[in-house]
Structure 1
Amino acid sequence: MRLQDRLDAMRADFENGRFPLVPTRDQLDTMERATRSLVESGQADRALKAGDIAPGFTLMDADGNSVSSQAILARGPLITTFYRGVWCPYCNYDLQALEDLRPEIEARGASLVAISPQMPANSRKSQRDNKLGFPILSDVGTTVAAAFGLRFRLPDDLIEVYRQFGNDLPRINDDPAWVLPMPARYVIGTDGVIAYAEVNPDYTRRPEPSDLLPILDHLRVGSKG
């Protein structure tokens, strides 16, 4: 099943009360209004795009190890996916789909990392629950997300809904600011140039992971030329 089909089915289950957490109509309206506002703000259009230089970063993985984008790019291309957190089921499905594709990504000489504002303990839970073989890096304070143009603050009414759902982001992220990255996926070439960018102001919409493979094939052919 395509990733987006899985996400659409999950959204239908959530909105029709087939989740353990059953949202009210007011909560759903607040969530939809916040997503629409972020889409209409045009922030996704201002985020980094293909052809831009990717900001370098060094972040901690779930085990406390330092991971450098520069070191990864010295070995081959880097796929970077920005992830809202362990509490987001859409993001978890996205990570699972990327894990399914990971052998093909690595066969093309590329590496895969996810970047989240959450603390390492929550990244360990994400990796364990989703059975991931790639690291989730902690971007505490969303500094790297901001450098890519992805950071946004949740509106006050959505903050209240998240609190009602038990999603205490200041505790999960060790950051009082109530900010998140827009979900996004980047392919960065060994020269540091972004070869592919997909930014999603609507967190329920995600590109198919298989879209990455032609990009990696192109980069591999280019590196041999």
Structure 2
Amino acid sequence: MTLQDKLDAFKADFKGGKAPYFAPPEIHPVMERATAELIASGQAGRALKAGDRAPEFILADPDGNAVSSAELLARGPLVISFYRGVWCPYCNLELQALQESLPRFRELGANLVAISPQTAPNSRKSQRQNKLDFPILSDVRNEVAAAFGLRFSLPDYLVELYKSLKNDLPAFNDDPAWTLPMPARYVIGQDGVIAYAEVNPDYTRRPEPESLLPVLQHLLAAK
């Protein structure tokens, strides 16, 4: 089963209210409205894309260690997944799929990191639950996401819905702002130029990890 098949199956169960998902049916049009508005805003098209130079960053891993994109790129290409948080089941399914592909990424000389606005304890929880062998870096206030053009503010009506569902982003992120990154996947070459970019304002849609392999193979062959 592909990653998108798993995401679609989860979405069908969630909308159908199948156990253990008992969300009130009236929430679905609200979330779909927010997604449609984000798509219509055109922000995804303004995010960094293949051929752009990637911003450099230094972020903390769940243990508080500083992780530098420059140091990672000195070792090989860098795969980045921008991740909304441990509370997002679609993101967790994506991380699990990336973990399955991690050995192949490493064979091709690449490192993999996820970047999330959540606090370190939430990143550690996500790593445990998803059995990850790669770090989730803490992007405080979504500043790196903003540099990539991914940060957006939740509309007021979606904030109210999240509050009603006890999905407290300010607590998850230790940040009073209700912002998130659009889910995105990047491959950055050792020259700092983005070789692959996939940004989707619909958080239920994610690219297959295998789609990165030809890009990484090309980068390896070009060394």
- TM-score of the aligned structures, taking structure 1 as reference length: 0.98
SS at match of 1:67: strand
Report the alpha carbon displacement of residue 200 of structure 1 after superposing the two structures with TM: 1.0
Alpha-carbon shift at residue 21 of structure 1 (Å): 4.1
Report the alpha carbon displacement of residue 26 of structure 1 after superposing the two structures with TM: 2.5
Partners of 1:19 and 1:40 in 2: how far apart? 33
Alpha-carbon distance in 2 for matches of 1:194, 1:19: 41
Equivalence for 1:182: 182
* CA–CA distance in structure 1, aligned partners of residues 215 and 19 of structure 2: 37
Helix, strand or coil: the match of 2:100? helix
| 1:138 partner letter | S
Equivalent runs, 1:16-95 vs 2, <5 Å = 16-95=16-95
1:117-136 correspondence to structure 2 within 5 Å: 117-136=117-136
SS in structure 2 of the partner of residue 25 of structure 1 = coil
Q: Give the whole-Å Cα distance in 1 for the aligned partners of 2:164 and 2:217.
A: 45
Show structure 2 runs of 5+ residues with no match.
none
Identical-pair percentage: 66
Are 1:11 and 2:5 counterparts? no
Distance, in Å, in 2 between the alignment partners of 1:168 and 1:18 is 24
Q: For 1:66, give the aligned amino acid.
A: A
* Cα-to-partner distance string for 1:105-139 (whole Å, 9 max, x where unaligned): 00110000000000000000000000000000000
Deviates more, 1:21-30 or 1:97-106: 21-30
Query: In 1, are the aligned partners of 2:3 and 2:206 still within 8 Å (CA)?
Result: yes
Quick check: 1:193 aligned with 2:200? no
Give the Å deviation of 1:23.
2.5
Q: How does 1:151-170 map to 2 (within 5 A)?
A: 151-170=151-170
The number of aligned residues is 223
Q: Provide the rounded CA distance (Å) in 2 between the counterparts of 1:15 and 1:102.
A: 31
Change (3 A) 1:87 1:143: same
Cα 1:19–1:54 shift into 2, 3 Å = farther
Q: Distance in 1 between matches of 2:160 and 2:122?
A: 22
C-alpha distance in 2 between matches for 1:18 and 1:173: 29
Opposite residue 92 of structure 1, the aligned amino acid is: N
Matched, 1:107 2:107: yes
Structure 1 segments unaligned to the other structure (5+ residues): none
TM-score (norm 2): 0.99
SS class of match (2:170):
helix
Distance 2:21 2:156 in 1: 21
In the other structure, the counterpart of 1:137 is 137
Query: Could you report, residue by residue, the CA deviation over 1:135-191 in whole angstroms, capped at 9, with x for unpaired residues?
Result: 000001000000000000001111111112221000110111100000000000000
Taking only aligned residues, the RMSD between alpha carbons, in angstroms, comes to 0.7
